[in-house]
Each structure stands twice: as C-alpha cells, then as structure tokens.
Amino acid sequence: MTIALKPRPTTAKRVWTSARCALAIFTFTLLAVALSASCGPNDVPNSSAGPVTAPPAVAGSGGGVTTTASAPNPPAAPKGPMPIPAELKNLEMKTLKGGTFKLADYDGKVVVLDLWASWCGPCRKEVPELIALYNDYKAKGVEVIGLTIEEEADASAAVNRFADDFKINYTVGWADLTLARALMGSNGGIPQTFVITPDGRILKRFVGYGPQVAPLLRQTVDQALAAEG
C-alpha cells in the first residue's frame, strides 16, 4: 500500500518591502553600469574645473563608484577654481601603509590628486608621469596623492603589488566613497586627476589619460604655484 504525501501548507510572507525593492534596484543599476564599463588605453582625456558639491553622507569607502574611462564630456567649466567643501576635506582615509590622512592635512600646498584603480589601463599609463612629476616638484612643496576607488577588502594585495611594481613614491590610499562621488560628479571616468590650489580649490581636473595630459598637468601645477606666490 502506498500513501500519497500531501504537500505541506505554506504561509506567504511579504519579503519584498519597499526598502528592499529600492535597495535591489540600486544594486542592479550599479552592477549594470560596472558590467558595461570599459577602461581602454586609447581614451581621450578631457579637462575642466568642474563643480564640486557635498552629496548626502554615504557609509563605507571604496566600491560603489562608477568606473569607466570611456566617460561622457564633463559639464561646462564654471568661472574660477571651485572650492572643496570642508566636510569633504576632513574625511579621514587610510594609506596603503596603514596610516590615516585627510585632504585638510595638505592645506597650504599645491596638491595633485588622482582617482584611479589598479585594473585600469589609462591609470597604469598615468602613474609613471605622476611619479616623475612628484620627483620634479616635491622640492617646491607640491604633493601628489593617489586614491584608489577599489575596495580594500577585495583589492589590498593587488593595489600593494601595483604600488611596489611601479615604485610609487607619493602617498597612496583608499578613496572615501563620499569624497570620490563628489569629485567625480556626473562623470564616472577614471583616471581623474585634480590640481588643487593651496587654499583648497580645484584649479582643473583631467578625465582620462593620454600623451597630451603630461605637459598640461605640469602647466596647471605651475599655474597653481604662481598663484600661491
């Protein structure tokens, strides 16, 4: 004799709350952007002063930033260098060596700030120029800071290996997500390189990297130093 097993009754539970739906949509959007992103060696850089505003605070650091070197043109440059808000300058970030720093620590100096990632082809081409620039300008008080937008938990070994292989001699750290999103604005391309004046204003930003960037970057640093004097 066989006995037919009746299925157990199930109780429907409301799993998809409005908050979870919103989170799922947000995550899917980021994933779609990341999958469609490309970082090729032939990207054409753009330069702009670019607006900088402080977005709502976002927990965490590193990932979640749109990363593509094939980015649209940045918005039209406003007149005059744009100030970096104090709340962004005082965000604390970690260096690869385990120390901490803030952009505010460099007040009074010309700063070349680079947003990059170890997997990005144009970033790899730019790093040697940043090393050479730092060697040539550090005696004048110019600081170079490289902030990787990668997650420390996932990319620590790769980023440290990259820094060792390229013999990076300037400060390298993990970008705070809030700072990175504010600086990049609507243009998510990397690398993005910013020349910051001693009073904390962005004199110019460069999106992408090509041979023409090196002289323009140095020209902008010279301009920032002249203004300081």
Each domain of the chain, given as residue ranges in start order, spans 39-228
How many CA atoms lie less than 13 Å away from 119 in the CB half-sphere? 13
Give the chain's mean pLDDT: 77
Tokens linked to 84? 């970096």
Radius of gyration of the chain (CA): 21
Rounded to whole angstroms, the Cα distance separating 142 from 83 reads 18
**Position 80 confidence tier, pLDDT thresholds 50, 70, 90:** low
3-class DSSP state for residue 164?
helix
Rounded to whole angstroms, the Cα distance separating 23 from 27 reads 6
pLDDT of res. 202: 96
CATH label, 39-228, candidates 3.40.50.150, 3.30.1360.170, 3.40.30.10, 3.40.47.10:
3.40.30.10
| Main-chain phi, psi angles of 75, to 5 degrees | -65, 160
pLDDT of 4 > 60? The answer is no
Q: How far is CA 5 from CA 2, 8, 78, in A?
A: 9, 9, 73
pLDDT of 8 > 50? The answer is no
Rounded to whole angstroms, the Cα distance separating 18 from 183 reads 31
Rounded to whole angstroms, the Cα distance separating 67 from 117 reads 9
Percent of the chain with pLDDT strictly greater than 90: 60
Place of tokens 């504010």: 182
Mean pLDDT of 118-139: 97
Q: How far is CA 103 from CA 6, 51, 92, 196, in A?
A: 66, 17, 8, 10
**Position 56 confidence tier, pLDDT thresholds 50, 70, 90:** very low
pLDDT: is 183 or 30 the higher one?
183
Q: How far is CA 101 from CA 30, 47, 96, 172, 176, in A?
A: 28, 27, 11, 10, 11
pTM attached to this predicted model? 0.70
pLDDT, one tens digit per residue, over 20-49 is 544 444 444 433 333 333 353 334 345 555
